[in-house]
Structure 1
Amino acid sequence: MNKNKINGISMIPFGLLAGFADDKEIRLIELAENGFKFRLQQEIADVGQFRICFYNSNDSAYREIQVKEFCIQKEQQEQFYTVYSAFTEQEDFRKEVQGLVTRYSRYIRLKTECDDAELAEELTGYPAEKDEIFAESLEQQKKEWFQDVLVNKLAEAINRVSEVAFELDHPELYQAYLKEDISAFMENYWIQNGFSQAVSDIAPDRLYIGNQFCHLLFPEERCLFEMMEKAQRENISITLAYTYIREDMLKTMDELLAKVDNWCKERQTTVEVVVNDWAMVGILRKYPKRMTPLLGTLLNKRKKDPRMGYKKGGRILYEQNSLNAEFYRKFLGEECNIWRYEWEACGYAQNFPGTLNEKNSLHFPFYQTNTSQYCPLHAICTDGERGKQKLVTNCPYFCERNMVLYPKHLHMTGRYNSLFGVDTEVLKHPEKLEAYVTAGIDRLVLGLS
């Protein structure tokens, strides 16, 4: 057995190559056909076998090789870890090393020679040529997204759910809602967002007022209470949508919520509050009787991307996230009084929990993929580069007139400080909405703008 030295590729990414010495996980730091180097926090006296897991991008799966014929050589002792070399002549190990090195070398070559779209095309079949096709405006894009929606069937599907809500999430919508009665507002809401006709027999049971992603788009105090008064007159329930809370926002947020609590007390009513920052949980503990917290989108984390369809391999693990852990939901309920969770239709099946007292809301058809406190749209409009982002304190609301367009086939757009994809399937195939309801959704939240 060749015990001279390991002379191979160093620091292959952990996602491509993982290893275990018996049941201890090891960090592989160099790989060659005659063996590998690895490091451990503690020294080891003896190893029965190694398990080396090679990722094969062609199959989108791992292959595990059990290395039973080997010898170990201690290389160096550092303060926090020990480095070893393991030598082997196993033929199955040698072949897997050759395959991984070939695939990894190809990836490095493509990464250095191609742009991201070309790289994705080579590795996954992504249609790079479609990245050159853009809509002229978001209005045109929406018409293409929504023109084939069968509004009557959509209405039937939506009306089967227990509660229907609509989002009011930016100043233009706030003012439109205040100026029009609810029926006229809803008719314009559909038409202005690219639908051929209004879904006339859908009326909201609830309004989500505020923005879950940009703190500067929450309504001013006077506007907020005017909308709340109007919603109460129209017998529509209220959910206030908050985003992250910066340190300098804590005092004013607390003061505003105290006024909301007093408004509820005077009118003998309650409101919901979408929580996207753990600081909000602490604030709401002061007002447990009249304000009910919900777990917002920024805290209900999961992988979401319009390009997910081009990824290889199984996607079943995407169906679950932290909320599928019962101990976590129990903590949210008992310690934070959070029993309702905000989800998004994002292009793949999701496993909604329902073993305790949970309730689930589904936002559609848009879903958030990225959010930054340092607004990229503001940077583009002021400096011409999205990389020159900075904290905006006096917002001119560029997002009322501007947005970032992406290739048409991606079904996504950049609005204010976030990126959004659109799940057009839930609109064009209403049976998918019905499936969500069957799976545990009891509230649908429509946000089109």
Structure 2
Amino acid sequence: MAEKVAQAGVLDLAAPLSPVERYYFGAEFCPWLFPEVAQIEQALALARQAQRPLTLLTPVLSEFFFPRFEEALAAIAPQLMPQDEIVLSDWGALATLKKLAPQATLVLGRVLSGQKRGPRILDLALSDFDRDYFQQGSVYSREMVALLQEVGIVRVELDNLLQGVAPLPEGLVGTLHLPYAMVSSSRNCPYREGLGDRGCPKECGAPFTLESDETAIPLLQRGNTQFLENCSLPDGLAEKRIDRVVRHSVLPL
């Protein structure tokens, strides 16, 4: 694998475009934060203007949100090109994505990577065998690699784990997200109590920090998802089969 690592960034419709090789746009974790069709079209227009491809992040879905998701995808799909990507964060969306946007490249989202997450892993007394286990995820199994190849997925999105990231198996390439690594996510959001199938009436509340005596590393929460911050770029990305890095300036959606 070439040593060059492509740089990608998250597109902010209200900010000047950053000089990167690919733009990411959408939502990974909360369906109610998935952008409207007009916003996705604006992001596509900006990416086309910069002559850069777009990666559309799709979220973990709920039964209430799925019809809106299908409508949005049906409207956007004809505008996507083969160099554009759609990140799959919910296996329930696979058939819809392949049906409505067969020309776009599918990517497995970090929600589905099965990586071992959380700061307390650093407190464990790990043997070399244990460390290798905690640096991997479900995408490292032969069965998962075979499944991904069957559905046409080669690229997987990865979190920058504190304990390190193991080299991906043959047949896969990876994208590493910095500096915020997902720790956990839930359908239960502190800002959505009692809303049922209705969208959120306003933006999420301000992100906040969670601290515990059990670890020196705080968790950062935005909406329904908790993150930790790891700014250190691992060595040997090429050997790990990671050829792209996405840098987030704020906590992801």
TM-score between the two structures when normalised by the length of structure 2:
0.86
Residues 243, 333 of structure 1: alpha-carbon distance in 2 compared, 3 angstrom cutoff: same
Whether the aligned pair in 2 keeps the contact of 1:375 and 1:390 (CA below 8 Å) is no
- 1:407 aligned residue (190, 201, 211): 211
Per the TM alignment, residue 285 of structure 1 is displaced from its structure 2 partner at its CA by: 2.1
1:395 maps to 200
Per the TM alignment, residue 397 of structure 1 is displaced from its structure 2 partner at its CA by: 3.9
SS in structure 2 opposite 1:222? helix
| Counterpart Cα distance in 2 of 1:207 and 1:353 | 23
Matched, 1:421 2:238: no
User: Relative contact order, CA 8 A, sep 6+: which one is greater?
Assistant: 2
1:331 maps to 147
Amino acid at match of 1:228: L
Matched, 1:369 2:183: yes
SS in structure 2 opposite 1:355? coil
Residues 346, 397 of structure 1: alpha-carbon distance in 2 compared, 3 angstrom cutoff: farther
- Superposition pairs of residues 259-274 of structure 1, within 5 angstroms: 259-264=75-80, 270-274=83-87
1:437 maps to 238
Matched, 1:245 2:58: no
SS in structure 2 opposite 1:349? coil
1:344 maps to 159
Amino acid at match of 1:367: A
| Counterpart Cα distance in 2 of 1:226 and 1:254 | 19
Q: Which has the higher helix share?
A: 1
Matched, 1:256 2:84: no
Whether the aligned pair in 1 keeps the contact of 2:8 and 2:247 (CA below 8 Å) is yes
- Superposition pairs of residues 270-285 of structure 1, within 5 angstroms: 270-285=83-98
SS in structure 2 opposite 1:273? strand
Residues 313, 442 of structure 1: alpha-carbon distance in 2 compared, 3 angstrom cutoff: closer
Matched, 1:165 2:2: no
Per the TM alignment, residue 270 of structure 1 is displaced from its structure 2 partner at its CA by: 4.2
Whether the aligned pair in 2 keeps the contact of 1:166 and 1:447 (CA below 8 Å) is yes
Amino acid at match of 1:393: R
Whether the aligned pair in 1 keeps the contact of 2:37 and 2:76 (CA below 8 Å) is no
Per the TM alignment, residue 354 of structure 1 is displaced from its structure 2 partner at its CA by: 3.7
- 1:300 aligned residue (113, 127, 148): 113
After superposition, the C-alpha distances for 1:60-104 in whole angstroms (9 at most, x for unaligned) are xxxxxxxxxxxxxxxxxxxxxxxxxxxxxxxxxxxxxxxxxxxxx
Moved runs in structure 1, 4+ residues, more than 4 A?
388-392
- In the alignment, structure 1 segments of 5+ residues that lack a partner are 1-159, 187-202, 380-387, 427-431
- In the alignment, structure 2 segments of 5+ residues that lack a partner are none
Whether the aligned pair in 2 keeps the contact of 1:343 and 1:363 (CA below 8 Å) is yes
| Counterpart Cα distance in 2 of 1:278 and 1:241 | 14
- Superposition pairs of residues 50-129 of structure 1, within 5 angstroms: none
Residues 402, 323 of structure 1: alpha-carbon distance in 2 compared, 3 angstrom cutoff: same
Whether the aligned pair in 1 keeps the contact of 2:78 and 2:101 (CA below 8 Å) is no
1:44 maps to none
| Counterpart Cα distance in 1 of 2:57 and 2:47 | 15
Residues 312, 393 of structure 1: alpha-carbon distance in 2 compared, 3 angstrom cutoff: farther
| Counterpart Cα distance in 2 of 1:407 and 1:328 | 35
TM-score between the two structures when normalised by the length of structure 1:
0.50
1:215 maps to 31
1:359 maps to 173
| Counterpart Cα distance in 2 of 1:288 and 1:228 | 15
After superposition, the C-alpha distances for 1:303-329 in whole angstroms (9 at most, x for unaligned) are 211232222343422122222222321
Whether the aligned pair in 2 keeps the contact of 1:339 and 1:359 (CA below 8 Å) is yes
| Counterpart Cα distance in 1 of 2:93 and 2:136 | 25
Per the TM alignment, residue 368 of structure 1 is displaced from its structure 2 partner at its CA by: 0.8
Whether the aligned pair in 1 keeps the contact of 2:182 and 2:226 (CA below 8 Å) is yes
Per the TM alignment, residue 244 of structure 1 is displaced from its structure 2 partner at its CA by: 1.3
Whether the aligned pair in 1 keeps the contact of 2:57 and 2:87 (CA below 8 Å) is yes
Aligned-residue RMSD, C-alpha: 2.3
Amino acid at match of 1:405: T
| Counterpart Cα distance in 1 of 2:30 and 2:229 | 19
| Counterpart Cα distance in 1 of 2:102 and 2:203 | 38
Per the TM alignment, residue 391 of structure 1 is displaced from its structure 2 partner at its CA by: 4.6
- Superposition pairs of residues 143-154 of structure 1, within 5 angstroms: none
| Counterpart Cα distance in 1 of 2:7 and 2:122 | 29
After superposition, the C-alpha distances for 1:154-212 in whole angstroms (9 at most, x for unaligned) are xxxxxx633211124xxxx43x13xx3x2xxx4xxxxxxxxxxxxxxxx2111110111
After superposition, the C-alpha distances for 1:248-283 in whole angstroms (9 at most, x for unaligned) are 33332222222222123xxx6542111011121111
- Superposition pairs of residues 2-17 of structure 1, within 5 angstroms: none
- 1:446 aligned residue (244, 247, 250): 247
Amino acid at match of 2:124: K
Percentage identity across aligned positions? 23
Per the TM alignment, residue 411 of structure 1 is displaced from its structure 2 partner at its CA by: 3.8
